[in-house]
Amino acid sequence: MEKKEYGFRQGMRDGVPISLGYFAVAFTLGIAARDAGFSPLQAMITSLLINASAGEFAGFTLIAAGAGYLEVAIMEAVANARYLLMSCAFSQKLGSDTPMRHRLALGMTVTDEIFGVSIAVPGKLNPFYTYGVFSVASPGWALGTFLGVLVGNILPIRAVSALSVALYGMFLAVIIPPARKNKVIAGVIVISFAASYAASNIPALASLSAGMRTIILTVAIALAAALLFPVKEGSDDAA
């Protein structure tokens, strides 16, 4: 059986379903941008420069409410803090000889879905694979935002709600394949779902922002999994 090469072309192929999901979900983001006074072009450029759904939603909502620059900056930092953890994981996935320019460029491509497919690549990550995914996925997100501002309010409310569900479908498409191959990953996913639900109902944690809860749970669960089920260096899963 021929071994699959995870280069730019494969990244583009893997980026197609992510792009379609982004396109659908971004319609609701476009409506939020329109309520904040953004034109279709302004909203599209914002989505091209900011690869963060929760961060953009929070930003547009605060802008619509007349929040100040400092408040928006603090909220963006909290909402997007989880990307620091993803970037750290990315650094472990890259080969030691990966140039700094690629490391910096990859930091600008990190989203939940792009991170998910990139970290699942066997062995060390070829930066051009992630570039391929990003080159297809990002335009889908930007175009969806553009059209959301332009025609989003014309769509029925039920249609908009149905489009927003596509994001959860993308998450399932990212986590199910590796979970079927590895029982440890499957167990960690189940525990993560249960812990997330519990954290949202425990008073001490429920008072925190969703982004902060995500960071706490990610660090705690990842640390426990690393201690209980360490991966040997040199194996495909170790990279």
Distance CA 147, CA 204 (A): 40
Q: Is 180 exposed, middle or buried (0-12, 13-18, 19+ CB in 10 A)?
A: exposed
Q: What is the crossing angle of helices 53-64 and 69-79, to 10°?
A: 160
Q: For residues 126 and 142, is the Cβ–Cβ distance under 8 A?
A: no
Token digits for 209?
Answer: 């922002």
Q: What pLDDT was estimated at residue 1?
A: 44
Q: What pLDDT was estimated at residue 238?
A: 46
DSSP code for 67: -
The structure tokens 């479908």 sit at 169
Q: Is 58 exposed, middle or buried (0-12, 13-18, 19+ CB in 10 A)?
A: buried
Q: What pLDDT was estimated at residue 128?
A: 95
Sign of CA dihedral 144, 146, 148, 151: negative
Q: What pLDDT was estimated at residue 126?
A: 92
Q: Using a CB cutoff of 8 Å and minimum separation of 24, what contacts does 183-190 make?
A: 184/225, 184/229, 188/221, 188/225
Q: What pLDDT was estimated at residue 232?
A: 65
Claim: this prediction has a pTM higher than 0.75: no
Give pLDDT tens digits along the chain (239 positions): 456 788 999 999 999 988 988 888 888 888 888 888 999 999 999 999 888 877 888 888 888 888 888 888 887 887 787 788 888 888 889 988 999 999 999 988 888 889 889 988 888 999 999 999 999 999 999 999 999 898 866 767 666 666 666 656 666 766 787 788 888 888 988 998 899 889 888 888 888 776 677 778 878 888 888 888 876 655 555 44
Distance CA 195, CA 85 (A): 18
> How far apart, in Å, are the Cα atoms of 60 and each of 72, 143, 158?
9, 17, 22
